[in-house]
Chains A and B, each alone.
With several copies, the nearest count.
Chain A
Amino acid sequence: MKYATTLNDKTYIIEINDDRHIVVDGVEYAIDFASLAGQSLYSLLLDNESYESFVEEREEAWQVLLRGVLYEVRVADEREERLRKASGGLAVSGGEFSLKAPMPGLVVAVPVAEGQTVVKGDNLIILESMKMQNELKAPRDGTVSRVRVKAGDSVEHNQVLATMA
């Protein structure tokens, strides 16, 4: 299986054909790869160098936490990569944005109203969790199309709080 893996604008072509070897940009390495805690924690011996890392998928990208540094990595298999290139690599931007609760909590304030225009960085919702006031901000300029919560509401993790057009 061949993958095109991208990190900081650099793409590595990585080939995995069996459990014990990997080819990275044409160079072969011996590997011994193990899942350690049933989820997200992995041990890799790469040509006998020992690495341990948290690897988790988050919104289309892989978050790799390695020796205290976080890397955001995109992995596409060959077919996907060809399709992406054919489509001209158009990113789907604009469109609707849904603000989801990043954790369970209590809405303490909603400083915006439906129809209001906001600029990037404006507070949309103030959510209290773990005794902290967390300001959830607009990721870009736009208009608040819908506000789904009010002050005093308890919300679940990933619940949609507001949408922006």
Chain B
Amino acid sequence: MFKKVLIANRGEIAVRIIRACRELGIATVAVYSEVDRNALHVRYADEAYSIGPAPSRESYLRIDKILDVARKTESDAIHPGYGFLAEREEFAAACEEAGIAYIGPKPSAIAAMGDKAVARATVTKAGVPVVPGTEAEGSLRDEEIIAIAPQIGFPVLIKATAGGGGKGMREVIRPEDLSGALAAARREAEAAFGDGNVYLEKLVTGARHIEFQILADTHGNVIHLGERECSLQRRHQKVLEESPSPFVDPHPELRARMGEVACKAAAAVDYVNAGTIEFLVDKEQSFYFLEMNTRLQVEHPVTEAVTGVDIVKEQIRIARGRKLRYTQEDVSLNGWAVECRINAEDPYNNFLPSTGQIKSTILPTGPGVRVDTGVYAGFEVSPYYDSLISKLICWGEGRGEAILRMRRALEEYRIVGVKTTIPFHQTIMNSHRFIAGHFDTRFIEERFEMDEDRELRPEIAAILATLVAHRESQMAAQIVQRGERDTSNWKWVGRYERMHR
């Protein structure tokens, strides 16, 4: 097994990977930017190296600095996590050149799947259906895209070639909006990936976004761990995932068929390690290959919860050259799992990011509950990185129990100091459509209102506000009174401490 693994990431996923390494008896090396000195991944790792200032481009995206640390620490392997360098062919290649194992696919597979055009061509050849679009055309200029659009037919979707995570994505309903949307998408893609290339895709309406987790070893074995339902999205960002999918679960033959296609798509690029094949599925159970994520996914825990497989440990074993410990027949889905992504955003104010220090926090715990987080009381949520601060995963014997458990867990979860999307998820968990499993990728944006389907307690809210207002005016009065008295500094501090205990 590896002796030492460097984790080229931060936040909850860096912590997740450190945990897997520790449980395998592997030493860990963290890298961190200047604002992350006290981050959990730095605290938990065996070694930690500062690699530059806060902006990602000067730290977490610096391949040269990260490889320097890997060499200096004699790390055997590097795990890229997700985001940052996770789908950069040149990073995987640079690791290979430096003689350090990259815990992920070969550079050629990243390249094949990272270039959407090549990906489409490759999987089409292998008999996998794809959504109509322009990726096969390579980099097009705006005029060219605008010219082709009518052939695809509106509505269309602009997507970033280098993309992922909804960055640089725009839906366009009317032809006259295309030009402006292209500019916005290119700007966002440039900022997010340093690559402003975009392409068009037909917008499949009423579609579900369903993906398959696959594992492939270096001995030619490829299996899938079932599907994840990822249709609940906002601005093309997943907000909530579950496994199995309520759409697929009643049709085991559909799961088998999609799983087989997913494995075929992976095999088409000689894929090795963990990866995800994303499909769009329409109401008639037709499914189209969307893209492959050549890395660990944010939502991998729901699959872990229903299969019992520790995907990160499996990734490390595969990178070490081990054979898969499971055959397709060994994999079965037990129960149901839901994941809510908790972002530091204000759901009542257009999901604006919320930064600042976490003052206190209470995690939901108990049976069937898992929290993956990189923050803790005292930690400063900075504006430099993405807003995901925690993932709450609930398992139940069935979907009903998983949802009810998620409801109680969300209500228990306290994060004081930044606004979070917890109330947003509470509204989803109470939404009749969600509970019935009736939703597609447009649900959140088109048929969802905050605080819909909720039991309202306006009188209690009025009382609470009044009590707090009263309390604050009383305290203000006391402070003024006290200030008038003669008190030495020392006494003051003592009193202040007691007040704030």
Asked if A and B touch directly (CB within 8 angstroms), the answer is yes
Interface residues of A (CB under 8 A from B): 1, 3, 5-8, 10, 12, 14, 16, 22, 24, 29, 31-46, 48-55, 57, 62-71, 73, 75, 77, 102-105, 108-109, 128-134, 157
Contacts of B350 in A (CB 8 A): 134
Contacts of A103 in B (CB 8 A): 352-355, 383
Are A73 and B462 closer than 8 Å at their CB atoms?
yes
Contacts of A73 in B (CB 8 A): 461-462, 464-466
Are B383 and A129 closer than 8 Å at their CB atoms?
yes
Set A3, A51, A70: member contacting B469, Cβ < 8 A: A3
Are A109 and B49 closer than 8 Å at their CB atoms?
no
Set A50, A52, A105: member contacting B383, Cβ < 8 A: A105
Instruction: Report the count of interface residues on B (CB-CB < 8 A).
Output: 67
Apart from A48-B47, A69-B451, what 5 extra A-B contacts exist at CB < 8 Å? A37-B378, A67-B454, A105-B383, A130-B355, A130-B385
Q: Which of B223-269 contact A (CB under 8 A)?
A: none
Are B423 and A42 closer than 8 Å at their CB atoms?
no
Q: Given that A41-B414, A103-B383 are known contacts, is A70 also in contact with B191, CB under 8 Å in the complex?
A: no
Give complex CA distance A34, B472 in Å: 13
Are A50 and B46 closer than 8 Å at their CB atoms?
yes
Residue in B187, B359, B458, B462 with the greatest tally of chain A CB atoms within 10 Å: B462
Judge if B456 is at the interface, Cβ distance under 8 Å.
Answer: yes
Contacts of A37 in B (CB 8 A): 359-360, 378, 414, 416
Give complex CA distance A10, B213 in Å: 52
Q: Given that A49-B47, A50-B30 are known contacts, is A5 also in contact with B465, CB under 8 Å in the complex?
A: yes
Give complex CA distance A108, B455 in Å: 41
Q: Given that A38-B500, A40-B416, A70-B451 are known contacts, is A12 also in contact with B459, CB under 8 Å in the complex?
A: yes
Q: Given that A41-B416, A50-B46 are known contacts, is A67 also in contact with B457, CB under 8 Å in the complex?
A: yes
Q: Which of B29-70 contact A (CB under 8 A)?
A: 30, 37-38, 42-49
Contacts of A129 in B (CB 8 A): 353, 355, 383
Judge if B460 is at the interface, Cβ distance under 8 Å.
Answer: yes
| Chain A, residue nearest B44 (CB) | A50
